[in-house]
Amino acid sequence: MLVSVVIITKNQRSFLEQTLPRITGQRGLLQPPEVIVVDSGSTDGACAFALQQGARLICLKPHEFGYAHAHNAGAAVATGEIVVRLSGDAIPANRDWLSSLVAPFADASVACTWGGQSLPAGLHSAWERWSQHLLHKEPRDAAPVRIMGRARTILGSNMAVRRRLWKAHPYDERLAQAEDYAWAHHWLKTGAWAGVFVPGAVVVHGHDEPLFPAMRRSLTQSALQGLILAGLIGRGAPPRPDPPLVSLTRT
């Protein structure tokens, strides 16, 4: 199956310089993945580098940016059966990352998968390290975990979804955060679809930020997840008209 990798970014060329070659070097796939970079106003040469590496480039205006909106824009032009969400500052940790992340889709009842993460060397955030210990402590050789009924913590920066399900229910653009969790919960709560956590599909990812902003971000995420579980938010909305996009490919 063809896999599309959607990377959202702004002024993260230094990360793309590591990520794009690692995606090209992934093994265990029947065909090379399609790479789509959704940029929202980079001024550091990230766009030019993405095109040089053969990625497709989608340009959003900075004021249009939102995580759900950016990932919807990327998925809208993707041609793969499976669409991977990858944050601009998340770097695949090994050459089997992508094949591990998409392997569970051989089961026709799997709606989405997500992998683990390891923290970048030199990261000093105590809150991030504590969160890592709680949420991503499974050994990389642990077996994938199949989940139905209720979504557990989703790592939307390292996640894959079945594109036909995304087309039926795009990410809720009214949510500033937790649109990944809302999307997964929408399908898992039916009992007909499963999500799979794949500990071995690891990316290097973390935020080195002061304690209180980090706590606020995490607690906001938890509160939104609670509201989603209660059915108060994140139930989706009619798609809004597509904004003007500039879609570029290397010539």
Picking from 50, 11, 2, the residue whose alpha carbon sits closest to that of residue 30 is 2
Please give the CATH architecture assigned to the domain spanning 3-239: Alpha-Beta Complex (3.90)
Q: Strands 110-118 and 194-204: what pairing?
A: parallel
> What's the pLDDT at 250?
53
| Distance, C-alpha 53 to centroid of its chain | 20
Give the torsion through C-alpha atoms of 142, 1, 55, 7, to 10 deg: -40
| Ranges of each domain in the chain | 3-239
Picking from 122, 112, 92, the residue whose alpha carbon sits closest to that of residue 28 is 92
Longest dimension (CA), the chain: 49
Cα angle, residue 123 at apex, residues 122 and 125 outer, rounded to 5°? 145
3-state secondary structure of 239: coil
> What's the pLDDT at 244?
42
Q: Which residue type, as a one-letter code, is found at position 54?
A: G
> What's the pLDDT at 100?
97
Distance CA 37, CA 71 (A): 10
> What's the pLDDT at 25?
94
> What's the pLDDT at 137?
67
pTM: 0.88
Q: Which tokens is 108 given?
A: 């026709």
Tell me the DSSP string of 83-126: EEEEETT-EE-STTHHHHHHGGGGSTTEEEEEEEEEPPTT---H
Per residue of the chain (251 residues), what is the pLDDT tens digit?
899 999 999 999 999 999 999 999 999 999 999 999 999 999 999 999 999 999 999 999 888 889 999 999 999 999 999 999 999 999 999 999 999 999 999 999 999 999 988 877 776 666 566 565 566 667 777 889 999 988 778 888 999 999 999 999 999 999 988 999 999 999 999 999 999 999 999 999 766 666 667 677 778 878 888 898 888 888 765 444 454 455 566 54
